[in-house]
Structures are given as C-alpha cells and as structure tokens.
Amino acid sequence: MQYRKLGNSDLDISVITFGAWAAGGWMWGGTERSEAVQAIRESYHAGVTSIDTAPVYGQGLSEEIVGEAIRDLPRDKVQILTKYGMHWDLAKGDFAMKSQTNDGQAIDIYKYASADSIVKECEDSLKRLGTDYIDLYQIHWHDKTTPIQESMEAVSLLIQQGKVRYAGVCNYNAELLMEAGKYINLVSDQVPYSMLRKDIEAETVPYCIGNNISILAYSPLQRGLLTGKMTSGYSFAKDDNRASLHYFSDENIKRVNAFLAKIRPVAEDKKATLGQLVLKWTVEQPGITIALAGARDARQALENASSVDIQLNRDEISFINNQLSDLKLVNK
C-alpha cells in the first residue's frame, strides 16, 4: 500500500481508502453487517488504514459498523474520516431530498451545519465509532442556511478540544473552498471524480493544487459501472438509487462497456481486473490524492487494495485517456 499526506497535516492516508457508504446500505439496496465488518478488517490487514464514513450512511449504521470493525485494531494506526451536516432526524436547514431507511421508512434529508448541531453530531459520531477522536472531520454538503464561518469555527473548537484532528470539506467548489479557508486550515476536499465525471478538473483541481488541499475522489468506479460487471438491463434493488441516474441507462452501460473493452488488454497485461486498472488510473491523475473504494465483502476489499500495486507508464495512461476521449454518454 502507498500513503499520501493530506494537505499540510501529518495525516498519512492510504491511497486506497475504504469508502463505507455502501456498508451502511442506504441507497445501495441494504447491507450485510458481518460481511461489511470483515471487509474493513481485511482491508486494514492489506494496508488500507483509512476509512471514510458518515452519519447519514444508513442513519448511523455505517459508523457503527466501522466502530465494530476497528474495535480490536490499534487506534493510532487507523484513520477515521467522517462527516457532519446531513440530517435525517432534524427538519431544519437546507432541504436536500426525500429518501427512505434500509427498512423502507420514509425520511427527509436536510443539509444543516450550525455550530450547536456540529457539536452534537460529533458527540454522536464518537459514540457510534467507539473512539474519542476523529482524524478528519468533513462537512458533507454546503448548507446555504448557515454561514460557512459559523460551521468552520465550530470545527476549530472541536480541534482545540482534541475531538477532531483535522478539518476537511466535501462537495466544495473553488469558491466555497476559498471562503472556508478564511476560518480554518483545510487539508482536503472530497469530491466525485471518475473517468466518467471529470468536471472538477476545470476549477477545483487547480485551486486545490495551488493551495495544498488534497483531493479525496469518491465514486471513482462510478458506483460499480466502471468494473465492467454491469450489462444492459441490469436489475437494481428497489431502494438502489442508481437506477434513477443517467449513468446507468441501458445505452450508457452499453457505451461504457464498449470503452472498457478497449482498455481491457491493458488490465489483462497487468493481470488486473478492470476495476483495479480504473482505481490505479484515478490516483495517477493530477491533484488526486486518494481514491475512495467501497466493498461489500472481503474479496472486493482485497481486490481494491491491491490496485495500488499496478504499474502504469505514461504511454499506457495516454492510451487510456485517448480511448476515454471518444466516450460520449447520453445525459438523460
């Protein structure tokens, strides 16, 4: 495994970080707790020491699973990345969406990051995680109803109290990063990035590079689409929201698979899967510090972890990029 430092911190994060969104089941069609716990533990032993989660993932379940998984691991060898500012239990702030719990109960999700709320959320997360500090605390989404200054100053207080080590943000563009940076030392920005979603390259990546802010790329496999394991007519679970996203239309699945067929020889030459090749390509892109990769079970987790062992030269990366430039998705 390789490790990279976040911003100007002393926090070394595994280049492949375990993304625990799917572990919580929410919007992924449910979860199997014991398999998720085992996946995290196997990842750790393969060198994946960093785990990213959030309270809203399974409405607390993902954090509880992470807490169970790390219970017998040396705490100083594990980096816990979690978030704040997304509520299913408080109808206040910036309405985000209607959703449902893993058992089908209807819930409304709000973006809310007031100072009082952040303090409470931190305490709740610490209890679920079974720890007394969080390595990286990130605002999940921008809350339009709360001044950024208020949110960042609340996290600064948590850092002073030793409950949080470093501050990060998620889904922030360059403008929001600039504003937040006035009030706190930001070490990272977690944003969606994949071969199929590269819009951050225009402004966010240059800003982060210029201001020593690490980028944590989430959904680098485009939620499974870039593994090559989906075919047209793929059947999603009832509460799996991928079915409503344009990436997963039959036509786009067909087009993506045609692209993957072109780069498959590179993966085969490396004795790697397409998913491993895609993860390695992701962490070789300018400004991308780490890639978040989720896993349903230990086999997937170990496969993700070993992707860092692949060696890609400039010609191979150029070949992949050239094939990618020909891929056009239908945006509907």
Catalytic residues, by residue number, are: 57
User: Are the CB atoms for 81 and 96 separated by under 8 Å?
Assistant: no
Interatomic CA distance for residues 156 and 162, integer angstroms = 10
Extract the tokens encoding 254.
């067909």
For 202, residues 6+ apart whose C-beta sits below 8 A from its C-beta are none
Q: What does DSSP say about strands 134-139 and 3-5: parallel, antiparallel, or unpaired?
A: unpaired
Q: Which residues pair with 87 in a beta bridge?
A: 110
Helix (H) or strand (E) holding 263: helix 250-269
User: Are the CB atoms for 290 and 50 separated by under 8 Å?
Assistant: yes
User: Are the CB atoms for 196 and 225 separated by under 8 Å?
Assistant: yes
Question: What angle, rounded to 10 degrees, do the helices at 61-70 and 115-129 form?
Answer: 40
DSSP string, 161-211: TTSEEEEEEES--HHHHHHHTTTS-EEEEEEE-BTTB-GGGTTHHHHHHHT
Question: What angle, rounded to 10 degrees, do the helices at 250-269 and 274-283 form?
Answer: 80
Interatomic CA distance for residues 56 and 60, integer angstroms = 6
